[in-house]
A and B are shown apart, each in its own frame.
Chain A
Protein backbone atom coordinates (compact mmCIF):
# COMPACT_ATOMS: atom_id res chain seq x y z
CA UNK A 1 0.00 0.00 0.00
CA UNK A 2 1.15 3.52 -0.77
CA UNK A 3 -0.06 6.47 1.26
CA UNK A 4 0.48 10.05 0.21
CA UNK A 5 -0.10 12.89 2.63
CA UNK A 6 -0.49 16.60 1.90
CA UNK A 7 1.60 16.64 -1.29
CA UNK A 8 2.38 20.15 -2.47
CA UNK A 9 4.51 20.96 -5.48
CA UNK A 10 5.31 24.27 -7.15
CA UNK A 11 7.30 25.20 -10.24
CA UNK A 12 8.24 28.84 -9.76
CA UNK A 13 4.97 30.71 -9.19
CA UNK A 14 2.90 27.81 -10.51
CA UNK A 15 1.36 25.84 -7.64
CA UNK A 16 0.81 22.51 -9.42
CA UNK A 17 -0.24 20.24 -6.55
CA UNK A 18 -2.15 21.46 -3.51
CA UNK A 19 -2.32 19.27 -0.44
CA UNK A 20 -3.13 15.92 -2.01
CA UNK A 21 -3.65 13.00 0.36
CA UNK A 22 -4.92 9.51 -0.37
CA UNK A 23 -4.15 5.79 -0.19
CA UNK A 24 -3.46 3.33 -3.01
CA UNK A 25 -4.39 -0.28 -2.27
CA UNK A 26 -2.57 -3.48 -3.29
CA UNK A 27 -3.91 -5.74 -6.03
CA UNK A 28 -6.16 -3.15 -7.66
CA UNK A 29 -5.69 -0.60 -10.43
CA UNK A 30 -5.64 2.85 -8.87
CA UNK A 31 -6.30 5.53 -11.45
CA UNK A 32 -5.35 9.20 -11.32
CA UNK A 33 -7.44 11.12 -13.81
CA UNK A 34 -7.88 14.76 -14.69
CA UNK A 35 -7.61 17.23 -17.53
CA UNK A 36 -4.37 18.38 -19.13
CA UNK A 37 -2.32 20.43 -16.67
CA UNK A 38 -4.25 19.17 -13.64
CA UNK A 39 -1.06 17.75 -12.08
CA UNK A 40 -1.52 14.00 -12.71
CA UNK A 41 1.96 13.27 -14.06
CA UNK A 42 3.55 15.64 -11.54
CA UNK A 43 1.87 13.71 -8.72
CA UNK A 44 3.13 10.44 -10.18
CA UNK A 45 6.66 11.83 -10.48
CA UNK A 46 6.53 13.12 -6.89
CA UNK A 47 5.57 9.63 -5.76
CA UNK A 48 8.52 7.94 -7.47
CA UNK A 49 11.02 10.66 -6.55
CA UNK A 50 11.54 12.20 -9.98
CA UNK A 51 10.18 15.43 -8.48
CA UNK A 52 10.61 16.45 -4.85
CA UNK A 53 7.44 17.82 -3.24
CA UNK A 54 7.95 20.94 -1.10
CA UNK A 55 5.56 19.65 1.53
CA UNK A 56 4.09 16.20 2.15
CA UNK A 57 5.13 12.60 2.36
CA UNK A 58 4.94 9.43 0.28
CA UNK A 59 4.87 6.26 2.36
CA UNK A 60 5.53 2.84 0.82
CA UNK A 61 4.26 0.18 3.22
CA UNK A 62 5.26 2.26 6.23
CA UNK A 63 8.55 3.54 4.73
CA UNK A 64 8.68 7.32 4.29
CA UNK A 65 10.22 7.71 0.83
CA UNK A 66 10.33 11.51 0.90
CA UNK A 67 12.61 11.60 3.96
CA UNK A 68 15.11 9.11 2.52
CA UNK A 69 18.53 9.88 1.05
CA UNK A 70 19.49 8.72 -2.47
CA UNK A 71 21.17 5.53 -1.23
CA UNK A 72 18.25 4.64 1.05
CA UNK A 73 15.77 5.08 -1.80
CA UNK A 74 17.52 2.47 -3.95
CA UNK A 75 15.94 -0.41 -2.02
CA UNK A 76 12.44 0.94 -2.66
CA UNK A 77 13.25 1.78 -6.27
CA UNK A 78 14.20 -1.84 -6.88
CA UNK A 79 10.60 -2.67 -5.95
CA UNK A 80 9.18 -0.14 -8.42
CA UNK A 81 8.31 -0.79 -12.04
CA UNK A 82 7.28 2.07 -14.26
CA UNK A 83 5.86 2.36 -17.74
CA UNK A 84 6.47 5.81 -19.19
CA UNK A 85 4.22 7.68 -21.58
CA UNK A 86 6.72 7.31 -24.42
CA UNK A 87 7.84 3.87 -23.15
CA UNK A 88 11.39 5.25 -22.52
CA UNK A 89 13.10 2.19 -23.96
CA UNK A 90 16.87 2.54 -24.32
CA UNK A 91 17.38 3.26 -28.03
CA UNK A 92 20.80 1.67 -28.28
CA UNK A 93 19.67 -1.65 -26.77
CA UNK A 94 17.62 -4.49 -28.23
CA UNK A 95 14.33 -5.57 -26.66
CA UNK A 96 16.18 -8.35 -24.82
CA UNK A 97 18.87 -6.00 -23.51
CA UNK A 98 16.24 -3.50 -22.39
CA UNK A 99 14.43 -6.09 -20.29
CA UNK A 100 17.65 -7.65 -19.05
CA UNK A 101 19.12 -4.30 -18.01
CA UNK A 102 17.71 -4.13 -14.44
CA UNK A 103 18.57 -7.82 -13.98
CA UNK A 104 22.18 -7.14 -15.04
CA UNK A 105 22.40 -4.19 -12.68
CA UNK A 106 20.87 -5.66 -9.57
CA UNK A 107 21.04 -9.44 -9.65
CA UNK A 108 23.85 -11.97 -9.65
CA UNK A 109 21.94 -14.41 -11.86
CA UNK A 110 23.68 -16.31 -14.66
CA UNK A 111 22.97 -15.23 -18.21
CA UNK A 112 20.81 -18.33 -18.79
CA UNK A 113 18.55 -17.48 -15.84
CA UNK A 114 18.29 -13.87 -16.94
CA UNK A 115 17.41 -14.94 -20.46
CA UNK A 116 14.70 -17.22 -19.09
CA UNK A 117 13.26 -14.30 -17.16
CA UNK A 118 13.39 -12.07 -20.25
CA UNK A 119 11.59 -14.70 -22.32
CA UNK A 120 8.99 -15.15 -19.58
CA UNK A 121 8.34 -11.40 -19.48
CA UNK A 122 8.11 -11.22 -23.28
CA UNK A 123 5.72 -14.14 -23.32
CA UNK A 124 3.64 -12.41 -20.65
CA UNK A 125 3.14 -9.41 -22.93
CA UNK A 126 2.65 -11.60 -26.04
CA UNK A 127 5.90 -10.63 -27.71
CA UNK A 128 7.69 -13.98 -27.86
CA UNK A 129 10.65 -14.08 -30.23
CA UNK A 130 11.05 -10.32 -30.51
CA UNK A 131 14.26 -10.39 -28.44
CA UNK A 132 16.63 -9.03 -31.05
CA UNK A 133 14.55 -6.14 -32.36
CA UNK A 134 15.57 -2.55 -31.63
CA UNK A 135 13.01 -0.07 -30.23
CA UNK A 136 13.05 1.79 -33.55
CA UNK A 137 11.69 -1.36 -35.23
CA UNK A 138 8.66 -1.62 -32.92
CA UNK A 139 5.18 -0.14 -33.25
CA UNK A 140 3.78 2.12 -30.51
CA UNK A 141 1.76 -0.71 -28.95
CA UNK A 142 4.75 -3.08 -29.02
CA UNK A 143 6.93 -0.44 -27.35
CA UNK A 144 4.37 -0.12 -24.55
CA UNK A 145 4.34 -3.89 -24.11
CA UNK A 146 8.14 -4.05 -24.01
CA UNK A 147 7.98 -1.21 -21.47
CA UNK A 148 5.61 -3.32 -19.37
CA UNK A 149 7.87 -6.37 -19.77
CA UNK A 150 10.86 -4.32 -18.55
CA UNK A 151 8.88 -2.93 -15.64
CA UNK A 152 7.88 -6.41 -14.41
CA UNK A 153 11.33 -7.98 -14.93
CA UNK A 154 12.28 -7.42 -11.29
CA UNK A 155 8.90 -8.58 -9.88
CA UNK A 156 7.86 -5.11 -8.70
CA UNK A 157 5.67 -4.52 -5.65
CA UNK A 158 4.62 -1.15 -7.02
CA UNK A 159 3.75 -0.49 -10.65
CA UNK A 160 3.42 3.06 -11.98
CA UNK A 161 1.97 3.66 -15.43
CA UNK A 162 1.92 7.06 -17.12
CA UNK A 163 -0.65 7.49 -19.89
CA UNK A 164 -0.53 3.88 -21.14
CA UNK A 165 -2.95 4.50 -24.01
CA UNK A 166 -1.62 7.72 -25.46
CA UNK A 167 -1.03 7.38 -29.18
CA UNK A 168 -2.60 3.93 -29.41
CA UNK A 169 -5.64 2.78 -31.37
CA UNK A 170 -8.68 1.83 -29.21
CA UNK A 171 -8.18 -1.92 -29.68
CA UNK A 172 -4.50 -1.87 -28.68
CA UNK A 173 -5.38 0.46 -25.79
CA UNK A 174 -7.80 -2.15 -24.43
CA UNK A 175 -5.12 -4.86 -24.76
CA UNK A 176 -2.69 -2.71 -22.75
CA UNK A 177 -5.36 -1.96 -20.09
CA UNK A 178 -6.19 -5.65 -19.74
CA UNK A 179 -2.52 -6.52 -19.47
CA UNK A 180 -2.03 -3.97 -16.68
CA UNK A 181 -5.03 -5.33 -14.82
CA UNK A 182 -3.92 -8.96 -15.21
CA UNK A 183 -0.42 -8.18 -13.97
CA UNK A 184 -1.83 -6.24 -11.02
CA UNK A 185 -4.00 -9.16 -9.95
CA UNK A 186 -1.36 -11.80 -10.70
CA UNK A 187 1.45 -10.16 -8.72
CA UNK A 188 -0.77 -8.29 -6.24
CA UNK A 189 1.06 -5.06 -7.09
CA UNK A 190 0.03 -1.61 -6.01
CA UNK A 191 -0.67 -0.23 -9.47
CA UNK A 192 -1.13 3.46 -10.13
CA UNK A 193 -2.18 4.53 -13.60
CA UNK A 194 -2.28 8.12 -14.79
CA UNK A 195 -4.75 8.48 -17.63
CA UNK A 196 -7.41 10.57 -19.24
CA UNK A 197 -8.71 7.70 -21.32
CA UNK A 198 -12.35 7.08 -20.40
CA UNK A 199 -12.26 3.46 -21.58
CA UNK A 200 -9.54 2.82 -18.98
CA UNK A 201 -11.55 4.62 -16.33
CA UNK A 202 -14.62 2.49 -16.93
CA UNK A 203 -12.67 -0.70 -17.64
CA UNK A 204 -10.01 -0.96 -14.95
CA UNK A 205 -10.61 1.93 -12.54
CA UNK A 206 -11.26 0.12 -9.28
CA UNK A 207 -10.14 3.21 -7.43
CA UNK A 208 -10.14 6.62 -9.08
CA UNK A 209 -8.79 9.95 -7.97
CA UNK A 210 -9.86 12.98 -9.95
CA UNK A 211 -7.51 15.95 -9.91
CA UNK A 212 -8.71 19.41 -10.82
CA UNK A 213 -6.45 22.49 -10.77
CA UNK A 214 -3.90 20.65 -8.65
CA UNK A 215 -6.37 19.55 -5.99
CA UNK A 216 -7.99 16.20 -5.27
CA UNK A 217 -11.54 16.92 -6.38
CA UNK A 218 -13.14 13.49 -6.11
CA UNK A 219 -12.30 9.93 -5.08
CA UNK A 220 -14.26 6.73 -5.74
CA UNK A 221 -14.62 3.74 -8.07
CA UNK A 222 -15.70 3.36 -11.70
CA UNK A 223 -19.09 2.18 -10.47
CA UNK A 224 -19.59 5.35 -8.44
CA UNK A 225 -18.35 7.72 -11.14
CA UNK A 226 -21.53 7.36 -13.21
CA UNK A 227 -23.70 8.55 -10.34
CA UNK A 228 -21.63 11.40 -9.01
CA UNK A 229 -23.03 14.91 -8.90
CA UNK A 230 -19.58 16.48 -8.90
CA UNK A 231 -19.86 19.06 -11.69
CA UNK A 232 -16.19 19.24 -12.70
CA UNK A 233 -15.92 15.44 -12.77
CA UNK A 234 -19.07 15.11 -14.84
CA UNK A 235 -17.80 17.76 -17.24
CA UNK A 236 -14.54 15.84 -17.60
CA UNK A 237 -15.80 12.25 -17.80
CA UNK A 238 -18.93 12.81 -19.83
CA UNK A 239 -17.57 15.49 -22.12
CA UNK A 240 -18.24 13.48 -25.30
CA UNK A 241 -21.71 12.71 -26.62
CA UNK A 242 -20.83 9.01 -26.66
CA UNK A 243 -20.03 9.01 -22.93
CA UNK A 244 -23.13 11.06 -22.22
CA UNK A 245 -25.24 8.44 -24.01
CA UNK A 246 -23.44 5.66 -22.16
CA UNK A 247 -24.19 7.39 -18.84
CA UNK A 248 -27.87 7.57 -19.67
CA UNK A 249 -27.94 3.81 -20.12
CA UNK A 250 -26.25 3.16 -16.76
Chain B
Protein backbone atom coordinates (compact mmCIF):
# COMPACT_ATOMS: atom_id res chain seq x y z
CA UNK B 1 0.00 0.00 0.00
CA UNK B 2 2.73 2.46 0.99
CA UNK B 3 4.71 1.63 -2.18
CA UNK B 4 1.58 2.10 -4.28
CA UNK B 5 1.05 5.58 -2.77
CA UNK B 6 4.74 6.42 -3.14
CA UNK B 7 4.61 5.41 -6.79
CA UNK B 8 1.52 7.54 -7.39
CA UNK B 9 3.20 10.47 -5.61
CA UNK B 10 6.30 10.18 -7.81
CA UNK B 11 4.21 9.92 -10.99
CA UNK B 12 2.24 12.98 -9.91
CA UNK B 13 5.49 14.91 -9.36
CA UNK B 14 6.67 13.82 -12.81
CA UNK B 15 3.49 15.31 -14.29
CA UNK B 16 3.88 18.46 -12.17
CA UNK B 17 7.30 19.17 -13.64
CA UNK B 18 6.23 18.62 -17.24
CA UNK B 19 6.83 21.61 -19.51
CA UNK B 20 4.14 24.26 -18.87
CA UNK B 21 1.72 25.11 -21.71
CA UNK B 22 2.22 28.85 -21.29
CA UNK B 23 4.79 30.34 -18.94
CA UNK B 24 3.09 33.74 -18.58
CA UNK B 25 -0.06 32.11 -17.17
CA UNK B 26 2.00 29.99 -14.80
CA UNK B 27 3.99 33.08 -13.76
CA UNK B 28 0.77 34.87 -12.79
CA UNK B 29 -0.31 31.84 -10.76
CA UNK B 30 3.10 31.67 -9.05
CA UNK B 31 2.84 35.30 -7.89
CA UNK B 32 -0.69 34.62 -6.64
CA UNK B 33 0.57 31.64 -4.62
CA UNK B 34 3.56 33.59 -3.30
CA UNK B 35 1.14 36.20 -2.02
CA UNK B 36 -1.24 33.64 -0.58
CA UNK B 37 1.41 31.43 1.06
CA UNK B 38 4.02 34.04 1.94
CA UNK B 39 2.16 37.25 2.76
CA UNK B 40 -0.88 35.30 3.96
CA UNK B 41 1.16 33.42 6.56
CA UNK B 42 3.24 36.34 7.80
CA UNK B 43 0.92 37.18 10.71
CA UNK B 44 0.78 33.72 12.25
CA UNK B 45 4.52 33.16 11.75
CA UNK B 46 5.29 36.51 13.44
CA UNK B 47 3.12 35.71 16.44
CA UNK B 48 4.44 32.17 17.03
CA UNK B 49 8.06 33.26 16.48
CA UNK B 50 7.99 35.95 19.16
CA UNK B 51 6.54 33.51 21.67
CA UNK B 52 8.95 30.71 20.69
CA UNK B 53 11.93 32.97 21.43
CA UNK B 54 10.36 34.23 24.63
CA UNK B 55 9.63 30.73 25.95
CA UNK B 56 13.13 29.52 25.03
CA UNK B 57 14.68 32.38 27.00
CA UNK B 58 12.52 31.85 30.09
CA UNK B 59 13.00 28.07 30.12
CA UNK B 60 16.75 28.26 29.49
CA UNK B 61 17.11 30.78 32.32
CA UNK B 62 15.09 28.46 34.58
CA UNK B 63 17.49 25.59 33.89
CA UNK B 64 20.67 27.67 34.42
CA UNK B 65 21.05 27.06 38.13
CA UNK B 66 24.86 26.98 38.25
CA UNK B 67 26.66 30.27 38.82
CA UNK B 68 29.56 28.88 36.76
CA UNK B 69 27.59 29.26 33.53
CA UNK B 70 27.41 32.87 32.32
CA UNK B 71 23.98 34.35 31.58
CA UNK B 72 25.16 35.21 28.08
CA UNK B 73 24.65 31.53 27.24
CA UNK B 74 20.92 32.30 27.08
CA UNK B 75 21.50 34.51 24.03
CA UNK B 76 23.55 31.80 22.30
CA UNK B 77 20.96 29.12 23.01
CA UNK B 78 18.06 31.25 21.78
CA UNK B 79 20.02 32.11 18.61
CA UNK B 80 21.03 28.54 17.78
CA UNK B 81 17.67 27.03 18.74
CA UNK B 82 15.84 29.58 16.62
CA UNK B 83 18.09 29.17 13.60
CA UNK B 84 18.48 25.42 13.66
CA UNK B 85 15.20 24.11 14.94
CA UNK B 86 12.47 26.38 16.19
CA UNK B 87 12.03 28.74 13.25
CA UNK B 88 12.30 26.25 10.38
CA UNK B 89 10.61 23.26 12.00
CA UNK B 90 7.88 24.81 14.16
CA UNK B 91 7.06 27.30 11.38
CA UNK B 92 6.83 24.39 8.93
CA UNK B 93 4.48 22.48 11.21
CA UNK B 94 2.28 25.55 11.63
CA UNK B 95 2.36 26.10 7.85
CA UNK B 96 1.47 22.44 7.26
CA UNK B 97 -1.71 23.20 9.18
CA UNK B 98 -2.45 26.49 7.48
CA UNK B 99 -1.10 26.11 3.92
CA UNK B 100 -1.27 22.30 3.67
CA UNK B 101 -4.92 22.03 4.64
CA UNK B 102 -5.79 24.90 2.31
CA UNK B 103 -3.95 23.33 -0.64
CA UNK B 104 -5.50 19.89 -0.06
CA UNK B 105 -9.03 21.21 0.34
CA UNK B 106 -8.73 23.59 -2.62
CA UNK B 107 -7.48 20.89 -4.99
CA UNK B 108 -9.77 18.26 -3.45
CA UNK B 109 -12.82 20.47 -4.01
CA UNK B 110 -11.74 21.03 -7.59
CA UNK B 111 -11.50 17.26 -8.00
CA UNK B 112 -14.94 16.43 -6.62
CA UNK B 113 -16.62 19.26 -8.55
CA UNK B 114 -15.03 18.03 -11.81
CA UNK B 115 -12.98 21.23 -12.28
CA UNK B 116 -9.83 19.12 -12.66
CA UNK B 117 -11.61 16.98 -15.26
CA UNK B 118 -12.53 20.21 -17.07
CA UNK B 119 -8.84 21.19 -17.18
CA UNK B 120 -7.89 17.74 -18.50
CA UNK B 121 -10.55 17.90 -21.21
CA UNK B 122 -9.16 21.23 -22.39
CA UNK B 123 -5.79 19.53 -22.87
CA UNK B 124 -4.16 21.23 -19.89
CA UNK B 125 -1.69 19.35 -17.73
CA UNK B 126 -3.75 19.74 -14.55
CA UNK B 127 -1.02 18.66 -12.06
CA UNK B 128 1.34 21.19 -13.59
CA UNK B 129 -1.16 24.02 -13.70
CA UNK B 130 -2.52 23.44 -10.20
CA UNK B 131 0.49 22.21 -8.24
CA UNK B 132 3.66 23.68 -9.78
CA UNK B 133 2.80 27.31 -8.89
CA UNK B 134 2.07 26.24 -5.30
CA UNK B 135 5.40 24.41 -4.98
CA UNK B 136 7.38 27.31 -6.47
CA UNK B 137 5.40 29.82 -4.39
CA UNK B 138 6.16 27.86 -1.21
CA UNK B 139 9.86 27.11 -1.80
CA UNK B 140 10.51 30.80 -2.52
CA UNK B 141 8.49 32.37 0.28
CA UNK B 142 8.80 29.89 3.16
CA UNK B 143 12.60 30.42 3.49
CA UNK B 144 11.87 34.16 3.68
CA UNK B 145 9.28 33.50 6.38
CA UNK B 146 11.86 31.43 8.26
CA UNK B 147 14.38 34.30 8.09
CA UNK B 148 11.75 36.68 9.49
CA UNK B 149 10.86 34.07 12.08
CA UNK B 150 14.49 33.78 13.22
CA UNK B 151 14.73 37.54 13.68
CA UNK B 152 11.43 37.76 15.56
CA UNK B 153 12.21 34.73 17.70
CA UNK B 154 15.51 36.27 18.83
CA UNK B 155 13.75 39.59 19.41
CA UNK B 156 11.09 37.81 21.47
CA UNK B 157 13.79 36.07 23.48
CA UNK B 158 15.54 39.37 24.09
CA UNK B 159 12.33 41.10 25.22
CA UNK B 160 11.30 38.26 27.52
CA UNK B 161 14.80 37.95 28.99
CA UNK B 162 15.25 41.62 29.73
CA UNK B 163 11.65 42.21 30.85
CA UNK B 164 11.69 39.29 33.30
CA UNK B 165 15.22 39.97 34.51
CA UNK B 166 16.38 36.50 33.44
CA UNK B 167 19.28 38.14 31.61
CA UNK B 168 20.58 41.61 30.95
CA UNK B 169 20.56 43.27 27.57
CA UNK B 170 24.35 43.24 27.51
CA UNK B 171 24.57 39.52 28.38
CA UNK B 172 21.97 38.55 25.80
CA UNK B 173 23.72 40.48 23.01
CA UNK B 174 27.10 39.08 24.03
CA UNK B 175 25.71 35.55 23.83
CA UNK B 176 24.03 36.32 20.53
CA UNK B 177 27.26 37.47 18.89
CA UNK B 178 29.64 34.91 20.39
CA UNK B 179 30.71 31.75 18.53
CA UNK B 180 28.19 32.10 15.73
CA UNK B 181 28.59 29.37 13.10
CA UNK B 182 27.23 30.70 9.77
CA UNK B 183 26.69 27.14 8.51
CA UNK B 184 23.74 26.78 10.91
CA UNK B 185 21.94 29.37 8.82
CA UNK B 186 22.60 27.31 5.67
CA UNK B 187 21.15 24.25 7.41
CA UNK B 188 18.12 26.31 8.37
CA UNK B 189 17.56 27.39 4.77
CA UNK B 190 17.98 23.82 3.47
CA UNK B 191 15.34 22.73 5.97
CA UNK B 192 13.01 25.56 4.94
CA UNK B 193 13.19 24.66 1.25
CA UNK B 194 12.69 20.94 1.84
CA UNK B 195 9.85 21.49 4.30
CA UNK B 196 8.14 23.88 1.86
CA UNK B 197 8.34 21.22 -0.84
CA UNK B 198 6.95 18.56 1.51
CA UNK B 199 4.02 20.73 2.66
CA UNK B 200 2.84 21.66 -0.83
CA UNK B 201 3.55 18.41 -2.68
CA UNK B 202 2.13 16.07 -0.02
CA UNK B 203 -0.96 18.24 0.46
CA UNK B 204 -1.49 18.61 -3.28
CA UNK B 205 -1.17 14.83 -3.68
CA UNK B 206 -3.83 14.26 -1.03
CA UNK B 207 -6.15 16.79 -2.67
CA UNK B 208 -5.52 15.60 -6.21
CA UNK B 209 -6.53 12.01 -5.47
CA UNK B 210 -9.61 12.87 -3.42
CA UNK B 211 -12.49 10.64 -4.38
CA UNK B 212 -16.04 11.29 -3.26
CA UNK B 213 -17.60 14.45 -1.86
CA UNK B 214 -17.33 17.07 0.87
CA UNK B 215 -16.60 14.48 3.58
CA UNK B 216 -13.66 13.06 1.63
CA UNK B 217 -12.30 16.58 0.98
CA UNK B 218 -12.20 17.10 4.75
CA UNK B 219 -10.50 13.74 5.24
CA UNK B 220 -7.91 14.56 2.56
CA UNK B 221 -7.22 17.86 4.25
CA UNK B 222 -6.68 16.18 7.63
CA UNK B 223 -4.47 13.49 6.08
CA UNK B 224 -2.44 16.19 4.30
CA UNK B 225 -1.65 17.91 7.60
CA UNK B 226 -0.85 14.69 9.49
CA UNK B 227 1.38 13.22 6.77
CA UNK B 228 3.12 16.57 6.14
CA UNK B 229 3.93 16.91 9.86
CA UNK B 230 5.35 13.39 10.04
CA UNK B 231 7.37 13.91 6.85
CA UNK B 232 8.68 17.27 8.12
CA UNK B 233 9.92 15.73 11.38
CA UNK B 234 11.46 12.78 9.52
CA UNK B 235 13.19 15.11 7.05
CA UNK B 236 14.31 17.29 9.97
CA UNK B 237 16.11 14.32 11.50
CA UNK B 238 17.67 13.26 8.19
CA UNK B 239 18.92 16.79 7.42
CA UNK B 240 20.36 17.18 10.92
CA UNK B 241 22.08 13.80 10.66
CA UNK B 242 23.50 14.49 7.22
CA UNK B 243 24.51 18.16 7.52
CA UNK B 244 25.58 18.57 11.15
Mark A residues whose CB is within 8 Å of B: 45, 48-50, 70, 73-75, 77-78, 80, 82, 84-86, 88-91, 101-102, 104-106, 154, 160
Contact = CB atoms under 8 A, between A and B. Distances in A.
Nearest to B28: A104
Given A49-B120, A89-B115, 16 more contacts: A45-B117, A48-B121, A50-B117, A50-B120, A50-B121, A70-B125, A74-B123, A77-B122, A77-B123, A84-B117, A90-B115, A105-B22, A105-B123, A106-B122, A154-B122, A160-B121
Q: Which 10 pairs from chain A and chain B are nearest by CB? A: A77-B123, A88-B114, A88-B118, A74-B123, A84-B114, A82-B121, A102-B122, A88-B115, A78-B123, A50-B117
B35 interface: no
Contacts of A85: 114
Contacts of B120: 49-50, 77
Contact of B122 (A70, A91, A105): A105
A82 B110 CA distance: 16
A53 to B, nearest CB: 16
Contact of A106 (B21, B117, B121): B21
A20 B22 CA distance: 38
B22 A86 contact: no
B123 A73 contact: yes
Interface string B1-36: 000000000000000000001100100000000000
Contacts of A45: 117
A77 B125 CA distance: 11
B124 A91 contact: no
Interface string B79-121: 0000000000000000000000000000001100111011011
A175 B124 CA distance: 30
A88 B124 contact: no
Given A105-B21, A106-B21, A88 B123 contact: no
A21 to B, nearest CB: 23
B208 to A, nearest CB: 14
A132 B30 CA distance: 23
A154 B122 CA distance: 9
A75 B115 CA distance: 20
14 contacts: A73-B123, A74-B123, A77-B122, A82-B121, A84-B114, A84-B117, A86-B113, A86-B114, A88-B118, A89-B115, A90-B115, A91-B110, A105-B122, A154-B122
Contacts of B123: 73-75, 77-78, 105-106
Given A73-B123, A74-B123, A105-B124, A84 B118 contact: yes
Contacts of B21: 105-106
Interface in B44-64: none
Interface of B: 21-22, 25, 109-110, 113-115, 117-118, 120-125
A154 B125 CA distance: 17
Contacts of A86: 113-114
Contacts of B124: 105
A75 B122 CA distance: 10
A82 B25 contact: no
B150 to A, nearest CB: 33
A75, A85, A88 interface centre (most CB from chain B within 10 Å): A88
B114 A77 contact: no
Nearest to A147: B118
A103 to B, nearest CB: 10
Contact of B115 (A48, A73, A91, A105): A91
Contacts of B113: 86, 88, 91
A77, A78, A154 interface centre (most CB from chain B within 10 Å): A77
A106 B121 CA distance: 13
Nearest to B22: A105
Nearest to B109: A91
A104 B25 contact: yes
A84 B123 CA distance: 16
A181 B165 CA distance: 81
A88 B25 contact: no
A49 B117 CA distance: 10
A104 B24 CA distance: 10
Contacts of B117: 45, 50, 84, 88
Nearest to A73: B123
A17 to B, nearest CB: 18
B25 A80 contact: no
A154 B22 CA distance: 17
